[in-house]
Structure 1
């Protein structure tokens, strides 16, 4: 193994509380939204690309209204997250510091452009990661973005660490082993490795 590629939401942090604050600051302007969005709603869509999230959470909005809300919410999200951050899972900074001494570390997440940068900005973890990618910049699927990171950084034996079935499928698409973060938001039945807590990565690898 020469590197580790990480999902972000449900793997490195939980940003749902901050995202709820950001979205609630906008939702008052959208009378067509019939109910409040809960933390459980957000956690259920973590790992999906932004258009899929919009369709699942805002079925009462027409396509134009939904796209406008999502565009605005992504910008507000990035601002809130850059200023308030999210909740890092236990020992994330200590573990990535240790792992970065032995492996090159990367992030590939199904998020908008600016989201990973907001994570870096508040939590000051950019120094541990070599590169990152997301569909907000490339328009590609998670599996394609993993392959892009592999090609761009000449990786031959990476693993992907994530918490959802979508993460597993992305790793499979990229042809690399999948490490299932069981403490995250998703349920996965097939995986190459599993961790109950983030710090188990140090013992595993």
Structure 2
């Protein structure tokens, strides 16, 4: 369905980050391989497909998913190292922004207040802001690394503390769709990202398609 059908019924836009605003894969692959090389307990190599498969997963569930053969203590230690390496690499060189992102945020920000809710670790969104200089476009953000809560709960938290009226959520995975459904707000599927959302009523092929909301 065309996005133009939404524009008269929204006042705020909440974004996912990975697969929606940028492609973190080159950075994540490098960071994870660097971090995992320091652990003798890792017996199974982590592939690009493994990393892509956990994008959008709540951050504190990833260790159990990827390293079921490790103890909980080992999983936590390994994941802390991987997550720290990601944040450090983002601060050093950023990630691949989707084409037209900043101009699209600037245009959307002239009409709507913008927010981010991600399942990433603490410090990840701040590093995104810091390296790419995009923090001024967003009014608030939340992530599972800060709260330990699900994306549904974090979206609800951002809506409540900013008293948002008529928000929509934009993301690329079923977890994003579920978060929107759980808050009874419209969902826009970024089908250029990493997930499949066959139930999505609204879709975009590029981040620049969001300019149709004006």
Q: TM-score range by the shorter chain?
A: over 0.9
Q: Which residue, 82, 105, 114 being the options, matches 1:105?
A: 114
Matched, 1:142 2:160: no
The answer (yes or no) to whether the contact 2:109–2:137 under 8 Å persists in 1 is: yes
Q: Which residue, 33, 38, 49 being the options, matches 2:47?
A: 38
Deviation of the 1:136 alpha carbon: 1.1
Q: TM-score, normalised by structure 2?
A: 0.92
Deviation of the 1:96 alpha carbon: 0.6
Unaligned runs of 5+ in 2: 1-9
Query: Is 108-117 or 35-44 further displaced after alignment?
Result: 35-44
Q: What residue number does 1:90 align with?
A: 99
Q: What residue number does 1:116 align with?
A: 125
CA RMSD of aligned residues (A): 1.2
The answer (yes or no) to whether the contact 2:113–2:139 under 8 Å persists in 1 is: yes
Q: Residues 12-50 of structure 1: CA distance to partner in whole angstroms, max 9, x if unpaired? A: 011121122222222122122123322222111110012
Deviation of the 1:60 alpha carbon: 3.0
* Structure 1 segment 112-191 matched on structure 2, within 5 A: 112-191=121-200
SS in 2 for 1:199: helix
Query: Is 148-157 or 103-112 further displaced after alignment?
Result: 148-157
* Separation of aligned partners in 1, 2:158 and 2:23: 24
The answer (yes or no) to whether the contact 2:36–2:82 under 8 Å persists in 1 is: no
Q: Which residue, 23, 26, 34 being the options, matches 1:25?
A: 34
Aligned residues: 205
The answer (yes or no) to whether the contact 2:171–2:189 under 8 Å persists in 1 is: yes
Deviation of the 1:154 alpha carbon: 1.1
* Separation of aligned partners in 2, 1:181 and 1:204: 14
Unaligned runs of 5+ in 1: none
